[in-house]
Amino acid sequence: MKVPQWSARPPTRPEFRLTTRVLADRYRLGDLLGRGGAADVYEGLDLRMRRPVAIKVVRPESGLRTEERFHDEGRLLAQLQHPGLVAVYDSGEEDGCPYLVMQLIRGATLRRRIAAARMTPAEVGRAGSALASALAHVHAAGVVHRDVKPSNILMDETGRPHLTDFGISKLLDAAARTATGPLVGTAAYLAPEQVRGRGAGPASDVYSLGLVLIESLKGEMEYGGAPLESAIARLHRPPAIPAHLSPGLAELLHAMTDPDEHSRPDAPHCFRMLAAVAEEGHAGPVPETATDRTGTPGAARRAGRALLTALRRRPCPEPR
């Protein structure tokens, strides 16, 4: 199989911060795959099962109280089995450093994929439907991710996305839906209700996914800049939807990024609508002028809204 150019990455030898290269006499650390805010991710080998794995290790100098959250993430992911999520196999601690042993996804992040080239509407339909399916599964389990963004989406060698990094996810309950508090998430992808301090729910994940899909089509972040500037921007202007889209896809992206969380479609409906986009193949060359700052023209908006309404009224199949 030919590996897409965007997925290729030069191997990097890790800077070992542990006193051993083998964790729990079982997991051998290999190349460093990436670094997050508080943890490093290594390629590894499960010596017992003889299979490649990814090993996420908390850095001791992070200065964050991450251990409990880290183990919570492992337990949560172990219960959320879905093709669009990264599977967790094991967890433990070595030299005071907690670690997770996870499914190894060979590829790159969606962030890198977008940097290489903008995605076509058909590609966005395929990737978006898979991510919406994963979110539908997560939400049905009573969990909200709270940090859906391109760098938390791994694209395997077939182009299928896998949602990862549930480190700040939260179980949904009555208190969580109404709680206020400090901002949690990445400023560029926060939903308006998160910016206003009202907390995050499933609709917040849908909004973030909408921004991710718009960015995939345009090749650039919708709300860039410093964190505060980025967070506030969405309260003053809606995202600019690319002008070359079909009315149905354009209206769906408008709906997903509606400032009112109660007006957004849920993840199962997004799954079905994006799957329809992929099947119908709204593909073709991406024009040089990618955005329409004034939104979709009235007639097209009305046609897209009618399609969205018709799709919502049809029975929703179970996301896979």
Q: Which of 147, 165, 205, 258 is catalytic?
A: 147
pLDDT digits 0-9 by tens, 39-49? 889 999 999 99
Q: Decide: 44 and 27 in contact? Cβ < 8 Å.
A: yes
How much is the pTM?
Answer: 0.79
Same fold, 5-103 and 107-313: no
Angle CA 140–142–146, to nearest 5: 105
List pLDDT tens digits, range 77-104. Answer: 788 889 999 988 998 888 888 899 999 9
The pLDDT of residue 201 is above 60: yes
Structural domain spans, the chain: 5-103, 107-313
Give CA 113 to chain center in angstroms: 13
CATH of domain 5-103: 3.30.200.20
| Full 3-state SS string of the chain | CCCCHHHCCCCCCCCCCCCCCEECCCEEEEEEEEECCCEEEEEEEECCCCEEEEEEEECHHHCCCCHHHHHHHHHHHHHCCCCCECCEEEEEEECCEEEEEEECCCEEEHHHHHHHCCCCHHHHHHHHHHHHHHHHHHHHCCEECCCCCHHHEEEECCCCEEECCCCCCEECCHHHHHCCCCCCCCHHHCCHHHHCCCCCCHHHHHHHHHHHHHHHHHCCCCCCCCHHHHHHHCCCCCCCEECCCCHHHHHHHHHHCCCCHHHCCCHHHHHHHHHHHHHHCCCCCCCCCCEECCCCCHHHHHHHHHHHHHHHHCCCCCCC
For 125-182, the pLDDT digits (tens) are 999 999 999 999 999 999 999 899 999 999 999 999 999 887 655 655 433 433 444 4
- The CA angle 6-17-52, to the nearest 5 degrees, is 50
The pLDDT of residue 6: 53
Q: Identify which of 257, 183, 185, 174 has the alpha carbon closest to the alpha carbon of residue 215.
A: 257
- Domain 107-313: CATH architecture, name and number where available: Orthogonal Bundle (1.10)
Q: 217-234 pLDDT, tens per residue?
A: 999 999 998 989 999 999
Catalytic site residue 90? no
